């Protein structure tokens, strides 16, 4: 046996052992329970970063663990290969996105293989491959025919200089990232998927996902945002015609407090008012400028203007003004609200600013009046006051009566409102899946027939940042109508990449099938038993996937509704990011490795400069590692220096999977040291020599090893993998202390250690398992379980507290009951010393743990 731990040689050998046996290629073996373990596939951005290493190591640990527990485990890998960064790289380097993407895939695949993940590479897929995106298109045409995909207008960020649509990420402080031009909102035709049709089901089914973290379910629940309320109308007269201004409210009980109505800038009333009054037109224009992001809109200063229109309160008959306001969103409810300043914070602020009346109509905990400033109590439920015949009613009763009174007048009804909006999937971009529609003057929007699929994306294109590349390629868009044969224009928008990622997990089951989107093998493997990925996907990706699974169910492609049985949301790996403002007003992101940082005594950053030229750079805070911020830490050096096992061990040991992790290389050394210690222990063990004599020490060591193992198995079930790594270290420490005393216990302990550790550091464990003749392949060994007999203890150390403060310990036989223990403790030195003459009021005995004396 080699004296020295040589990760390079060991890892090469182990990996070729697995490869020769196709150890991770699995099929639909019905003799074992199946287990589909999947980590979210990566975007091929260039090279792996630490977030990937962490994500895939976690997935691999779970995969290998379940495999050793006797399950038929599938762990595939693929590439989320369409997307914006490829177009940006193309613009920067003049290389077509297709080539850039495929080169990245080759490089990153080699990195993943070097890490020794138990991946079934025979199922590899890339979403930019026509064999994959064909099925996006095929499925879209199905949805289109069923009305689940439809065309309407949607709002986008428009860069007036580049004449192009910008992604939210490309809008910085309301300006285009390349041009610096003020971004405008623009309405364009887009395709939408009718996710709202499934809102009810997507919400209700959250309760049947016990394997999902509560917080993710809560986030989805709030995102879907079901609220019960009343849709009601304020009649108004416009150019001699009676019309209705519809609003939605969850607080119909406050209806008598409505002192004005507010409409969004895009509302027909605002459009009408803008035509009459140039000042309103200017204000409406101002509201329509700026980006589309809700975060930006919500932080705007609340502004508004009266439209000059008055409407009639549906119950009191009072005339109240209609305003246009920038805080009302066209996309939610009716695009108009009734404003009740006394009981809604935003309306309150708005009313104060524009001196609109504030009329309290609910008795709240602080009384009847609502003096400024705003207090949260004003919004609480209470009894109606100043509300005519509704006075004295509570929330539920008031809403009930008001709703039915409105209904009788034809001015309202109870309604369920959702926050969730339909999913706009059109992107005016090149590097994505073409939407398979042909626009024909005679036949309208015609889906491309199956036999003409896929609509191939031309691959030798280098976008230039202006307009949409496909819309500039007649050879792409000139076509004939599939229905009437006349010349027609092909749709030039591509699909949101979230479409690709909403079903890729099902395709892994049958990636080689050229005839069907999914087949019987998908029915075997789906649902994914364990899904692992970043918490940043808690809403969009996971919700879209749940939606798509239902679409596929209703298309009779798969029978299940939920794609992911258990979900582990990994915390993000954070790194600091720095940028320079370029003369063109853009941000140039600087790799943190090139930045020299000065900090004050408390560790707060004082200044940062770029090493190369001493330029002062701006600190942008801690954030997720990303291509766009150029702050990803490349694991390559780590792997080359220490080997895959060290990198893997450290990724697991550094922090529990769900924690965010501020990356730092410090500490890697300790993981490497541990593996070296394990190796040298194995060398000594192999040399042999210890007598097999049971002693106090060997008994204590067995107890320690088995209790650590017991805890590790529990931790594993809770995904607390960092303490499993600690457990391995503790076992090695215990074995070290035993060295040369009892070979039987050492052998058992080492066999437990290697099996427990093998999912984390598979290469070294594979090698030692064979070297020490434990068996041929540690992966096929049984998962270790603690021996109950080893866990039995005759004596227990009790903590003795006085008034909850620890004052000492007491070792007692485990056979003693509470009364015996109490007697023992009353007679002990501790009582004499700390209690003296004080009267003992009560003695609390926690079995097996502690005794607390209350005086």
Which residues, numbered 429-458, are part of the site for RNA (CB under 7 A)?
A: 429
Interacting stretch for RNA, rule CB under 7 A, among 163-171, 252-260, 306-314, 524-532?
A: 163-171
Cα radius of gyration (the chain): 33
Question: What is the pattern of x (binds RNA, CB under 7 A) and - over residues 167-186?
Answer: xxx-----------------
- How far is it, in rounded angstroms, from Cα 277 to Cα 90? 47
Q: Restricting to residues 329-358, which ones interact with RNA according to CB under 7 A? A: 331
CB of 80 to RNA, least distance (A): 4
Query: Does residue 190 belong to the site contacting RNA (CB under 7 A)?
Result: yes
Token reading at 16: 């070729």
Q: Are 392 and 406 in contact (CB under 8 A)?
A: no
- The distance of closest approach from Cβ of residue 238 to RNA in the complex, given in angstroms and rounded to an integer, is 30
CB 572, min distance to RNA, A: 5
Could you say whether residue 126 binds RNA (CB under 7 A)? no
Question: Which residue in the set 666, 794, 817, 837 belongs to the binding site for RNA (CB under 7 A)?
Answer: 666
From 150, 77, 141, select the one nearest 113 (Cα to Cα): 77
Which of 805, 811, 815, 839 is in the footprint of RNA by CB under 7 A?
A: 805
Interface with RNA by CB under 7 A: which range of 82-90, 116-124, 359-367, 760-768? 82-90
**Distance (Å, rounded) from C-alpha 626 to C-alpha 42?**
12
- Which residues touch 59 (CB under 8 Å, ≥6 apart)? 37, 38, 39, 75, 117, 530, 532
Residue 182 CA, chain-centre distance (Å), reads 31
CA 174 to chain centre: 26
Choose, by CB under 7 A, the member of 215, 389, 641, 686 that binds RNA: 215
Interaction mask 85-114, RNA, x per CB under 7 A: x-----------------------------
317 contacts: CB under 8 Å, gap ≥ 6: none
Bridge partners (DSSP) of residue 662 are 574
Q: Which of 62, 729, 752, 760 binds RNA (CB under 7 A)?
A: 729
Per-residue binding string, RNA, 806-835, x by CB under 7 A, is xx-x--------------------------
Which range touches RNA (CB under 7 A), out of 349-357, 439-447, 727-735, 812-820? 727-735
Closest CA to 190 of 224, 156, 157, 145: 156
- Specify the residue for token string 């649509």: 165
Tokens standing for 76? 């595939």
Question: Is the Cβ of residue 610 or residue 676 nearer to RNA in the bound state?
Answer: 676
Contact between 191 and RNA (CB under 7 A)?
no
String of contacts with RNA for each residue 706-725, x by CB under 7 A: ---------x----x-xx--
- List the interface residues with RNA, window 599-658 (CB under 7 A): 621-624, 626, 628, 653-656
Task: Scan for tokens 């223990």, then name that residue.
Answer: 821
Q: Least distance in Å: CB of 435 to RNA?
A: 12
- Part in contact with RNA (CB under 7 A); list of ranges 6-14, 166-174, 175-183, 592-600: 166-174
Does the protein bind RNA through residue 794 (CB under 7 A)?
Answer: no
Q: Binding of RNA at residue 154 (CB under 7 A)?
A: yes
Helix intervals (H) in 146-242: 199-204, 214-224
The answer to whether the beta carbons of residues 430 and 460 sit under 8 Å apart is: no
Q: Which stretch binds RNA (CB under 7 A): 11-19, 81-89, 99-107, 746-754?
A: 81-89
Stretch that binds RNA, among 276-284, 348-356, 483-491, 529-537 (CB under 7 A): 529-537
Taking the CA of residue 293 as centre, how many other CA atoms within 13 Å lie in the half-sphere pointing to its CB? 16
Find, among 530, 549, 550, 546, the residue nearest to 538 by Cα.
546
**Which residues does 404 contact at the CB level (< 8 Å), separation at least 6?**
none
C-alpha torsion 805→808→813→816, nearest 10: -40
Closer to RNA by CB, 388 or 667: give it: 667
Instruction: Tell me: does residue 592 bind RNA (CB under 7 A).
Output: no
Count of other CB atoms within 10 angstroms of residue 586: 16
User: Among residue numbers 287 through 316, which ones bind RNA (CB under 7 A)?
Assistant: 292-295, 298-299
């Amino acid at each position: 046996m080699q004296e020295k731990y040589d990760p390079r040689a060991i890892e090469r050998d182990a990996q070729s052992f697995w490869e020769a046996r196709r150890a991770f290629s699995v099929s639909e073996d019905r003799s074992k329970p199946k287990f589909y373990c999947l980590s979210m596939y990566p975007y091929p951005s260039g090279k792996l970063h630490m977030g990937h290493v962490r994500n895939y190591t976690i997935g691999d640990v779970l995969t290998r663990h379940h495999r050793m527990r006797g399950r038929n485990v599938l762990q595939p890998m693929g590439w989320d290969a369409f997307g914006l960064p490829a177009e940006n790289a193309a613009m920067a380097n003049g290389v077509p996105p297709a080539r850039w993407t495929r080169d990245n895939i080759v490089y990153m695949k080699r990195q993943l293989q070097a890490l020794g993940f138990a991946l079934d590479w025979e199922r590899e897929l890339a979403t930019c491959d026509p064999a994959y995106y064909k099925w996006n298109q095929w499925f879209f045409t199905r949805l289109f025919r069923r009305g689940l995909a439809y065309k309407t207008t949607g709002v986008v960020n428009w860069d007036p200089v580049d004449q192009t649509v910008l992604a939210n990420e490309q809008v910085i402080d309301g300006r285009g990232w390349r041009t610096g031009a003020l971004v405008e909102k623009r309405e364009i035709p887009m395709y939408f998927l009718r996710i709202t049709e499934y809102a009810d089901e997507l919400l209700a089914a959250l309760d049947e996902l016990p394997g999902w973290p509560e917080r993710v379910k809560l986030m989805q629940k709030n995102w879907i945002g079901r609220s019960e309320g009343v849709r009601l109308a304020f009649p108004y007269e416009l150019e001699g015609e009676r019309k209705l201004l519809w609003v939605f409210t969850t607080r119909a009980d406050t209806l008598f407090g409505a002192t004005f109505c507010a409409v969004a800038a895009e509302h027909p009333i605002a459009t009408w008012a803008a035509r009459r009054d140039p000042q309103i037109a200017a204000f409406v224009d101002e509201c329509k400028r700026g980006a589309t992001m809700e975060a930006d809109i919500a932080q705007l200063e609340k502004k508004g203007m009266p439209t000059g229109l008055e409407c009639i309160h549906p119950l009191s008959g009072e005339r109240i003004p209609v305003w246009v306001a920038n805080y009302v969103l066209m996309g939610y409810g009716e695009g108009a609200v009734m404003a009740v300043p006394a009981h809604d914070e935003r309306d309150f602020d708005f009313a104060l600013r524009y001196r609109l009346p504030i009329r309290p109509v609910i008795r709240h905990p602080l009384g009847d009046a609502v003096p400024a400033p705003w207090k949260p109590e004003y919004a609480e439920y209470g009894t109606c006051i100043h509300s005519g015949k509704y006075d004295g009613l509570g929330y539920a009763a008031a809403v009930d009566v008001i709703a039915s009174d409105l209904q009788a007048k034809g001015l309202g009804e109870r309604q369920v409102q959702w926050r969730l909006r339909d999913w706009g999937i059109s992107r005016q971009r090149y590097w994505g899946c073409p939407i398979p529609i042909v626009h024909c003057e005679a036949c309208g929007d015609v889906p491309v027939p199956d036999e003409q699929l896929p609509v191939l994306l031309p691959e030798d294109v280098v976008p230039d940042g202006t307009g949409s590349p496909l819309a500039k390629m007649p050879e792409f868009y000139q076509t004939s109508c599939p229905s009437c044969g006349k010349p027609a224009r092909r749709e030039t928008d591509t699909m949101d990449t979230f479409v690709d990622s909403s079903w890729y997990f099902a395709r892994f089951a049958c990636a080689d099938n050229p005839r069907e989107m999914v087949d019987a093998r998908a029915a075997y493997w789906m649902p994914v038993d364990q899904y692992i990925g970043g918490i940043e996907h808690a809403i969009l990706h996971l919700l879209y996937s749940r939606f798509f699974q239902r679409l596929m169910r209703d298309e009779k492609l798969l029978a299940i509704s939920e794609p992911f049985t258990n979900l582990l949301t990994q915390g993000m790996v954070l790194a600091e990011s720095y940028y320079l403002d370029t003369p063109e007003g853009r941000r140039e992101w600087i790799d943190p490795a090139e930045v020299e940082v000065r900090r004050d005594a408390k560790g707060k950053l004082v200044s940062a400069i770029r090493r190369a030229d001493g330029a002062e750079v701006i600190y942008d805070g801690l954030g997720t590692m990303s291509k766009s911020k150029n702050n990803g830490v490349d694991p390559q050096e780590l792997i080359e220096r220490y080997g895959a096992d060290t990198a893997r061990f450290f990724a697991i040991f550094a922090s529990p999977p769900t924690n965010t992790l501020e990356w730092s290389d410090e500490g890697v050394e300790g993981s490497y040291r541990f593996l070296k210690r394990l190796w040298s222990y194995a060398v000594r063990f192999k040399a042999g020599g210890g007598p097999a004599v049971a002693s106090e020490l060997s008994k204590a060591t067995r107890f320690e090893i088995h209790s650590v193992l017991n805890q590790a198995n529990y931790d594993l079930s809770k995904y607390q993998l960092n303490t499993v790594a600690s457990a391995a270290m503790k076992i090695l420490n215990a074995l070290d202390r035993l060295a040369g005393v009892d070979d039987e216990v050492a052998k058992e302990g080492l066999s437990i250690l290697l099996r427990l550790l093998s999912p984390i550091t598979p290469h070294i464990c594979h090698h030692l398992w064979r070297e020490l003749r434990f068996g041929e392949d540690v992966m096929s060994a049984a998962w270790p379980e603690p021996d109950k007999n080893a866990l039995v203890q005759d004596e227990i150390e009790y903590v003795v507290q006085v008034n909850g403060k620890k004052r000492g310990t007491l070792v007692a036989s485990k056979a003693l009951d509470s009364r015996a223990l109490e007697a023992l403790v009353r007679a002990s030195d501790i009582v004499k010393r700390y209690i003296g003459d004080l009267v003992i009021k009560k003695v609390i005995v926690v079995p097996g743990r502690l005794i607390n004396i209350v005086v």
